[in-house]
Chain A
């Protein structure tokens, strides 16, 4: 009956009508049988039984199908009403798109980073031996006794003595920069690689997309060298060429055969930007002492536990095994730490999401963002509720008629809520698009400089479900109150045209909501202003070098390209000759590392003739080649710069910066003095020949460290940190990035095994130091603008509603002689009041909260009056503009119409 009658509705309806007609006819005949005329009988039956049509509707409505039919009707009505008021609909949909979009974007990130498991088989069976993310290579006892990093011999011992693990695998706790060159490649390219044990892929339980994955047979010093490529690399760098499987690639000077490619979803054991492109067996680790020494702790261990094993007992057992091994290998722990040995233990943690570096790092930030976006969404809901209220009072006559014709309040509320949900769903669909853009932008901001990020901005199924549910909930939340209030209007009152204010109480709620929105907006705007100014100060400061027109080339270790120290002078000479020959290059230089790339060497120095002074931070230092300072734009203050004459046999010299000179030679001129590293016997090693201006090499905020510069090739026999170059600086004319192909070609011509790790303009390299600050500033700006828009929409809707309610009153005022400008000021006064209150609350809150920001800010005080003033002016201007629109409409009303307003 049920579903069938949905489809055959007309037939059922006709049958019911016929049955009712029969019933009434028989009742009439019976009455006629008692002596009434047909007309009298008909009238009597009509009085007794009611109208046939109403009865039919009553019976009809008692069926459950009518629920769906009414829903369909409601949707059609709702759609028509929204279509008819495009202004309202557009504003509401945009507001919702922003609110739902922001929340969905944050949820996409939360889901990808914190909720989703590794794309492996049965991830809940995976456990990690360790409970924190200490990296990357250490010796001796570990933090709080909790073992996280393991030496290779210890790994072997645990692997062989713990049958509770189906497989226990070990892998490097950091990624290596590999230099990879195929047979047909003209130059080597840089890729990320991870060294893993032979049973790594078996432990994870994944399938290859092509070829095969590593097996324990590959992880032996005598086995042929095999490597596995990631699917993303295969797709992006090798165009999924099937010939890659089985091909030979030269990786860091060793020939590896590519055994296969991992599946498309797999990105490794850790969610990180720039995941591994290659997985190599541990036996291939070039620093062989890593595999033999029990001292070097550098592996993370993850294992798949067999079914039915309780993690707690396994945990205890592992600690026992660790203690046993340490007892018989005491020599790996420095003697001074032997007292700590009993405290060493292993904590098993679930590894369904792999090594949770990113989760830990971003957990707080994500939760903060989630709170903020939920707050904004709720404010958006409140705004739309206000807009609906304003709209509802426009439609009061229509609603009154509906109620008078027999519609129930329940039916009316249902229809209005359906309309709200429809609006919310449309906003939700628009929000999905906004969320995609937002997530994409957030990822680009947070991971600027990364080649690939294994987080997709595209909405996955859980995200879609989340967005839908959120839209439905949002629609209900903002729809209920206005629907309820609309249904409360008495039809008689509405038809009679009483334009009196309903519920002065509700307008107080609305107004205080606007005040809250204004306060929130000013807080966010001030915060955004401060952070943006701070970022601009940071990026625009005098670093001590020039970033315009400079290109920085970072090379992978020259040792990997097959160089040994004796070969370096010839290489450097060739590079110094070839680089300036590239068209567009004005000057070139080599150095151990470049400023603000993340590297910094420091060493205490001993001044000849002075007592040793190890106070303060050790000075920074670096080895540079000729033309270095000119190329990066650091000015010479006194003396001379390092140049060609400072070669291997020449007198050993050094150039220092101003801070160094000021610290160690406060009264004299530093030039001509001597100093050295390591010990007093060497304090006369270097003669200071020049002083350059201060430049920042690592810390972007504090003043430059005292720094000294030594020539590349003047390396004493016992000195650490030899003359290896990993950075080439180029001063170019025109856009630095445009020279990239020419530079690559030139380097390949010098030696095709030289591998470029990274080539960026100096400006970009410096900018990447401020990724976090930039992210925070952009987010603050975004949320500030969102809050501003919402506050304006809120103020507009409350003012429009107030005007609508007071139309009669305005008509009366105009009729007794009030000028339009007086009406304008009347309406604006209320709006002004809300804005003023909002600022009165918001500005002190911003100043108080600004103290939290004080540490983040650079060059701007957290109560900077310019910023505060600017934010206040912008907010006030936008808000008053928003309120002026309905105010102007009010002042332009025809008093006759206003008086007659129903």
Chain B
């Protein structure tokens, strides 16, 4: 069902996923949970958007994936941030900061 997370612009979701993976490699569900936690419930991703984004990021070479054994001795697909992804995260973060500051300036002006 559509929820607030689909309001996120595609590029922003990518950036958030990269940030999540910057801390440690994770599988899909873990990323979704972490995002919800870190945003204190504001962003709830559904499976469709998440996996489309993950597929896109993997194809661009920003993250990589491999099947690994989980705690419950099942196997899960883990995603890890690549060097290129780290660089992209840095530049996106800087850009985002600039945009936010600019918007704030505009909103504060009366």
Contact = CB atoms under 8 A, between A and B. Distances in A.
A and B co-occur in one complex: yes
Interface in B68-83: 74, 76-77
A55 B47 contact: yes
Interface stretch (A43-51, A364-372, A620-628): A43-51
Interface stretch (B51-59, B85-93, B97-105): B51-59
Max chain A C-beta neighbours (<10 A), residue from B33, B47, B59, B74: B47
Interface string A21-63: 0111011001000000000000000011110001100110011
A55 B1 contact: no
Given A19-B77, A20-B47, A58 B29 contact: no
Contacts of A63: 55
A662 to B, nearest CB: 96
B77 A50 contact: no
Nearest to A61: B52
A54 B29 CA distance: 18
B67 to A, nearest CB: 8
A81 B48 CA distance: 33
Contacts of B33: 30
Nearest to B52: A62
A62 B55 contact: yes
B65 to A, nearest CB: 9
Given A22-B74, A22-B76, A26-B29, A16 B51 contact: yes
B76 A50 contact: no
A220 to B, nearest CB: 75
A144 interface: no
Nearest to B50: A23
Contacts of A62: 52, 55-56
A48 B1 contact: yes
Nearest to B67: A15
Interface string B3-40: 10000000000000000000000011100110000000
A24 B47 contact: yes
Given A48-B46, A50-B1, A50-B46, A15 B52 contact: no
Given A22-B28, A27-B29, A47-B1, A2 B59 contact: yes
A1 interface: yes
B27 A22 contact: yes
A561 to B, nearest CB: 84
A525 to B, nearest CB: 61
Contacts of A1: 58-59
Interface string A297-329: 000000000000000000000000000000000
A55 B3 CA distance: 15
Interface in A551-569: none
A22 B51 contact: no
A26 B29 CA distance: 7
Contacts of B58: 1
Contacts of A19: 28, 51, 76-77
Contacts of A47: 1
A59 B52 CA distance: 5
A412 to B, nearest CB: 22
B28 A50 contact: no
A49 B46 contact: yes
A23 B47 contact: yes
Question: Which of B3, B29, B58, B59: most chain A CB closer than 10 A?
Answer: B29
B68 to A, nearest CB: 12
Which of A2, A30, A49, A50 counts the most B-chain CB atoms under 10 A from its CB?
A49
A50 B47 contact: yes
B29 A59 contact: no
Interface in A263-315: none
Contact of A55 (B51, B59, B74, B77): B51
Interface residues of A, number: 22
A59 to B, nearest CB: 5
Taking chain A's interface residues, is the majority helix, strand, or loop, or is none over half, making it mixed? helix
Contacts of A59: 48, 51-52, 55
Most buried by B among A1, A2, A26, A47: A26
A49 B47 contact: yes
Contacts of B77: 15, 19, 22
Nearest to B31: A23
B46 to A, nearest CB: 5
Contacts of A15: 77
Interface in A58-75: 58-59, 62-63
A20 B29 CA distance: 9
B52 A22 contact: no
Given A16-B51, A47-B1, A22 B46 contact: no
A901 B17 CA distance: 54
Nearest to B45: A49
Residue picked from A22, A24, A30, most chain B C-beta under 10 Å:
A22
A64 to B, nearest CB: 9
B29 A50 contact: no
A58 B52 contact: yes
Contacts of A24: 47
B48 A55 contact: yes
Nearest to B2: A50
A266 B55 CA distance: 59
Contacts of A49: 1, 46-48
A724 B73 CA distance: 112
A790 B4 CA distance: 57
A1 B76 CA distance: 19
Contacts of B55: 59, 62-63
A15 B67 CA distance: 10
A50 B51 contact: no
A57 to B, nearest CB: 9
Contacts of A26: 29
Interface centre among B28, B33, B48, B56 (most CB of A within 10 A): B48
Nearest to A26: B29
Contact of B51 (A20, A30, A48, A54): A20
Given A48-B46, A49-B47, A59-B48, A23 B28 contact: yes
Contacts of B56: 62
Nearest to B28: A23
Contacts of B27: 22
A23 B29 contact: yes
Nearest to B46: A49
A386 B46 CA distance: 45
A745 B1 CA distance: 97
A16 B58 CA distance: 14
A54 B1 CA distance: 12
Contacts of B32: 23
A47 B1 CA distance: 6
Interface string A346-384: 000000000000000000000000000000000000000
A22 B29 CA distance: 8
A55 B2 CA distance: 12
A96 B77 CA distance: 53
B40 to A, nearest CB: 17
A62 B46 CA distance: 15
Contact of B48 (A2, A22, A27, A58): A58
A77 to B, nearest CB: 26
A528 B76 CA distance: 78
Contacts of A23: 28-29, 32, 47, 51
Contacts of A54: 48
A2 B47 CA distance: 22
B104 to A, nearest CB: 33
A30 B36 CA distance: 13
- A-B pairs with the 9 shortest C-beta distances? A26-B29, A55-B48, A58-B48, A62-B52, A59-B51, A23-B29, A49-B47, A55-B47, A23-B28
26 contacts: A1-B58, A1-B59, A19-B77, A22-B28, A22-B77, A23-B28, A23-B29, A23-B32, A24-B47, A26-B29, A30-B33, A48-B46, A49-B46, A50-B1, A50-B46, A55-B47, A55-B48, A58-B48, A58-B52, A59-B51, A59-B52, A59-B55, A62-B52, A62-B55, A62-B56, A63-B55
Given A48-B1, A49-B48, A58-B48, 9 more contacts: A19-B28, A20-B47, A22-B74, A23-B28, A23-B47, A26-B29, A30-B33, A50-B1, A54-B48
